[in-house]
């Protein structure tokens, strides 16, 4: 069970507009277990129905056959902050789960904990932190962040840190993650081919463990 309040609805803003230069190919379309990586992330996070997917991309034609709403990044090439702006503007909900398209083990349990922390602390953004590093590309963002984010993008800012510094933020420490969350994998993002291979190996191992449990 997700743990969100009954009737909760939010938007999953999947950022799929990056250039994927270090990977050398479109990360959103990488094969992962027989499906594109972006599909896997949406399936993992939207299966329970609370989060409704919205894809932000520079090339919406790629996703046309998937059946999920897709919007064009209003400032292509301007980084993830611009993608967040585009997603918040198109979102139909106050609360939005912003997720990069290169996180194959994105966790619904962690997303739920972040959203609950945001509501409990009356902030604008709730993000996780592990080993001293904040992860703004897996976090809950209230739509009231939009005017601030737009102002930053229009002034030439590309840093997510600039937005975090300008609004009310709460940080969920790793020690407060739900017990079911494997923190290293839940926040693992793939930038290079080596990262992709590591993720595939983890996924193969999990598959073997599940089969052994059935025996």
The total of other beta-carbon atoms located within 10 Å of residue 154's CB is 12
Mean pLDDT, rounded, for 168-175:
98
Tokens 């349990």, located at residue: 109
* Separation of alpha carbons 144 and 166, rounded Å: 12
pLDDT of residue 21: 74
Binding residues for Mg(2+), by number, are 102
- According to CATH, the superfamily of the domain at 10-214 is Spore Coat Polysaccharide Biosynthesis Protein SpsA; Chain A (3.90.550.10)
Binding residues for GTP, by number, are 15-17, 27, 73, 102
Binding residues, by number, are 15-17, 27, 73, 102
Each domain of the chain, given as residue ranges in start order, spans: 10-214
Question: Mean pLDDT of all residues in the chain?
Answer: 90
Mean pLDDT, rounded, for 46-71:
92
pLDDT of residue 182: 95
């Amino acid at each position: 069970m997700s743990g969100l309040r009954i009737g909760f609805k939010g938007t999953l803003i999947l950022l799929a507009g990056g250039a994927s230069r270090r990977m050398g190919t479109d990360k959103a379309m990488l094969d992962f277990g027989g499906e594109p990586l972006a599909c896997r992330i949406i399936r993992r996070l939207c299966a329970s129905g609370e989060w409704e997917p919205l894809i932000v991309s520079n090339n919406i034609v790629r996703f046309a056959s998937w059946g999920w709403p897709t919007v064009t990044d209003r400032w292509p090439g301007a980084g993830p902050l611009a993608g967040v702006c585009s997603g918040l503007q198109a979102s139909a909900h106050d609360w939005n789960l912003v997720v990069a398209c290169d996180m194959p083990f994105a966790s619904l349990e962690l997303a739920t904990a972040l959203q609950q922390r945001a509501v409990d602390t009356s902030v604008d953004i709730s993000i996780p932190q592990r080993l001293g590093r904040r992860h703004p590309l897996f976090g809950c963002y209230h739509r009231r962040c939009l005017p601030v984010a737009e102002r930053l993008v229009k002034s030439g800012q590309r840093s997510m840190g600039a937005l975090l510094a300008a609004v009310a933020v709460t940080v969920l420490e790793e020690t407060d993650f739900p017990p079911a969350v494997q923190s290293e994998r839940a926040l693992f993002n793939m930038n290079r081919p080596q990262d992709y291979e590591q993720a595939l190996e983890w996924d193969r191992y999990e598959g073997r463990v599940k089969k052994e449990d059935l025996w």
